[in-house]
Amino acid sequence: MTKQEKVDFVIETLNKLYPTIPIPLDHKDPYTLLIAVLMSAQSTDVRVNKITPLLFERADNPYDMIKLSIEEIREIIKPVGLSPMKSKGIHGLSQILIDKHNGEVPQTYEALEELPAVGHKTAAVVLSQAFGIPAFPVDTHIHRLMYRWNLTNGKNVVQTEKDAKRIFPEELWNDLHLQIIWYGREYSPARGWDLDKDIITKTIGRKTVLDDYYKKKK
């Protein structure tokens, strides 16, 4: 298979498996998505989706959020982990949105990454899922799969994002990053990996990855 044939196979397979693509984090607008993505750092989407309704019942916009103290936010979001940092970030970015952006979530990497606790990946998720701006957020699933599929050298998420943007058509980025996340969770997890169920890796996988898998199975 040529590299282009591998890319085409990935796209075709993912479109068959995920013709409609659910967004993992529950939200109703760009602000609630931004908060949910921030909360998801080193946590799970399932856990975050249980806690965000409790927070958004109290404050689902920056004006109401700054009426809560950092400690009040922290108590609500404690189950998702890293609550001291996340509560400061949520309160701080809400104030900045009011002061600098009329309470609206900005639509550029630069403005988003200036917000407390908002890194490149969080900004990319918001741009793609809230505003439909082409972006390719790389999480652990995408990083793992792009390496397994021999589509990146896997050295770091920055390189993986560059490689993904280079080989996949821009108009597919927003769907593909979600499709790969779902595929990674369902068919190609880090633990309990069953290669027989992982049709993409079985078909185009990096030789060293496949060799290591079969050695461990013996």
Judge whether 67 counts as a catalytic residue.
no
Non-local (6+) Cβ contacts of 215 within 8 A are none
82 sits in which H/E element = none
Amino acid identity, position 117: A
Q: Structure tokens of 63?
A: 């004006």
Q: Which of 6, 139, 163, 198 is catalytic?
A: 139
Position of tokens 């593909």? Answer: 176
φ/ψ of 104, rounded to 5, equals -105, 150
- Contacts of residues 101-104 at CB distance under 8 Å and 24 or more positions apart, as own/partner, are 103/61, 103/62, 103/63, 104/30
Q: Which of 6, 86, 121, 163 is catalytic?
A: 121
Judge whether 139 counts as a catalytic residue.
yes
Non-local (6+) Cβ contacts of 193 within 8 A are 213
Return the DSSP state at 104.
P
Say if residues 7 and 202 touch (Cβ distance below 8 Å): no
Task: Please list the active-site residues.
Answer: 121, 139
